Structure 1
């Protein structure tokens, strides 16, 4: 059994194989094991090398997760032939898929989404399917993969530190199966595979109706009163600008229904203050985001926050109105108000402000089709995820019908 020593409180460790005099170092980051020879048979020198090596690997991992560095491509084995005894391997087919995918959709899809395919293959699919021949991947093998992903990993040794593990949610596992299907379809088009295996889930998903976290009218009132008080009297004077910006952001989001990414891309030239038919002024917004270019007409309550953002400086037309918001400011206030999670334990985020806009509009009697168009979504999505819990969607007169005696 190899000798092992912990480094940096168990974040990394050094070990020595029985047949080698030199110490090796290893660390587990982002679902992948990193190993390196220290080149020394002295334990003290090896542990010092492992500490420096761990800091470099951890810094690179943080930069990759933040999108500063590109995600590494799946590992290749040039010494092993691509075509094994049973046919083309999954690893070779995945390399062909990545080349095709990055070339064909590189200019049309988000670069982070394109890079996520390589990350999914490298972290999850290749360690499980990589050395298998394509005909060996059948429905039973795919089901074994689902069980593997939903089972906590066992420690490599009795004295090894426990590995941090989080059960993947249904949508995460679905994205991995989609990536697996894309690789197999690439192999099918090139004649490396004759038929597609069954990738469907063998057991039916839960039909429980759930809705996304939002703020009720009373909770929303508590939130904007707290952000307004923080804007008038910030915890520290250097945070005044950020506190005022957060207060205007909350009011703007709940009165427009924009997605957080759409609001982050919003520029001053995309917003126009208009007065329609003598009513209160509103904002006409050109939205760019998840669904391409769309349009939004705000509630009157969004005009004053926008004017305050505009009057605080001398912005150019191409300047961002809000830009990327810091989640820490919003989370701090939500925790102070005990509003970070709803009754079912779902966390509230900036996206919950969009859900609040939709729910408040429906509670006031707005037409659901017009709300869907204004939010650049479908009536089906609103009925399934937003309005399923609203009592105002139920017509008491239509329900409490009695037959005449």
Structure 2
């Protein structure tokens, strides 16, 4: 509480001192009736009065120019944004991408903008940031990285505007001139058929028992990824039997429904019918599960991971086994991308095949837990291949062309 106060301009500008503080503070009433607090940094009253008048007229000038009367350092606003995302994650409502956003703020944006006031970040400042960012990596920045940066900058700006620490009209408009993503490596249908055929026997060639078990599990892991569109890693490896159930529609038809949780939070997806056969094969490796039919096992909501080795242990090295498999089969690289194929390529294969079959892109985005924009960005270049028959024309058209 103030111990003493001095009216500089009655009911508009008031000097005061807090207990155990020798510095005079100033309260200024804004146009909306709210009080704005400032420090004069002065200990003597006469000097404080002079400084108080300067601060009062500066505040009025800011309001008339539609500038915020108060501002905050970027780091303080960013930390508030981080607290909000961490609270949502702790409550189970936050998206998994929040962890990426928090990393962006802590590792890139706060180190550069941290000491600046939010309302001083101009287009010129942004140009300096872009140059600094390129110097840090010494190579073109991917568009996806810049998108994450822009998302968090805009979030900090939004919070600053909401609290009156920045004026929306004065904030810079962010752009993205990053390197566009390449077409993601996938498999053609012929290559996938070859892959499936080779997997039937490849696991028998392992030198050790553990290697054979890894390859045995890899076969079903690959088939399930390619027939669900699940993400390799968090979504697939954390899948438990209790996350799988039969979904029955109004026609009494039943479908395998998976509940997965990963990059975009929890979602349900429908697996291809043949996935039931792969699940049957997996459960048959375990004595405590083999005694149940698949229906009984799903009804029991068993709290065990689906993707385990025959000895019951889990592994994080399936991607290495898959890379070795692709090398052995001469399938590590394809013709649509210079990048090596990985387990994620099975998700891209799933998307490609679904688009080829004419699936609605909006429905596919929901099934795969991604955005329509992401599907369009990564698969638009595949359209001629997917519609090869339509572009090539019918055989009769070919004959007509030959006749000319």
Mark yes or no: TM-score above 0.5: yes
Aligned length: 300
CA drift at 1:171: 1.0
Structure 2: state its 5+ residue gaps.
1-40, 42-57, 59-69, 290-296, 309-314
- Cα deviation, 1:253-275, whole Å, max 9, x if unaligned, reads 22333333433343224445799
Distance change >3 Å, CA 126–CA 332, structure 1 → 2 = same
Distance change >3 Å, CA 282–CA 307, structure 1 → 2 = farther
With 317-326 and 247-256 compared, the bigger mean Cα shift is at 317-326
RMSD: 3.9
Decide which of 159, 178, 184 is 2:157's aligned counterpart.
184
Give the corresponding residue for 1:351. 344
CA drift at 1:237: 2.2
Distance change >3 Å, CA 145–CA 337, structure 1 → 2 = farther
Bigger Rg over Cα: 2
Distance change >3 Å, CA 349–CA 108, structure 1 → 2 = same
Equivalent position SS for 2:84: helix
- Structure 1 contact 282–303 (Cα < 8 Å) conserved: no
For residues 273 and 94 of structure 1, the distance between their equivalents in structure 2, rounded to whole angstroms, comes to: 44
Whichever structure has more helix as a proportion of its residues is: 2
Decide which of 235, 238, 262 is 2:210's aligned counterpart.
238
- Cα deviation, 1:303-324, whole Å, max 9, x if unaligned, reads 3321110100024722121267
Using the size of structure 2 for normalisation, the TM-score is 0.62
Distance change >3 Å, CA 227–CA 305, structure 1 → 2 = same
CA drift at 1:142: 1.3
- Is 1:319 matched up with 2:304? yes
Distance change >3 Å, CA 149–CA 386, structure 1 → 2 = same
Give the corresponding residue for 1:342. 334
- Structure 2 contact 150–174 (Cα < 8 Å) conserved: no
Decide which of 73, 88, 91 is 1:89's aligned counterpart.
73
Give the corresponding residue for 1:296. 270
- Cα deviation, 1:99-124, whole Å, max 9, x if unaligned, reads 33433554244586444444322321
- Structure 2 contact 245–256 (Cα < 8 Å) conserved: yes
For residues 371 and 88 of structure 1, the distance between their equivalents in structure 2, rounded to whole angstroms, comes to: 43
Equivalent position SS for 1:284: strand
Q: Which has the higher contact order (CA 8 A, sep 6+)?
A: 2
For residues 318 and 386 of structure 1, the distance between their equivalents in structure 2, rounded to whole angstroms, comes to: 37
Equivalent position SS for 1:150: helix
Structure 1: state its 5+ residue gaps.
1-80, 154-164
Distance change >3 Å, CA 236–CA 283, structure 1 → 2 = farther
- Is 1:393 matched up with 2:387? yes
- Structure 1 contact 387–393 (Cα < 8 Å) conserved: no
Equivalent position SS for 1:389: helix
For residues 259 and 380 of structure 1, the distance between their equivalents in structure 2, rounded to whole angstroms, comes to: 18
For residues 374 and 189 of structure 2, the distance between their equivalents in structure 1, rounded to whole angstroms, comes to: 22
Give the corresponding residue for 2:237. 264
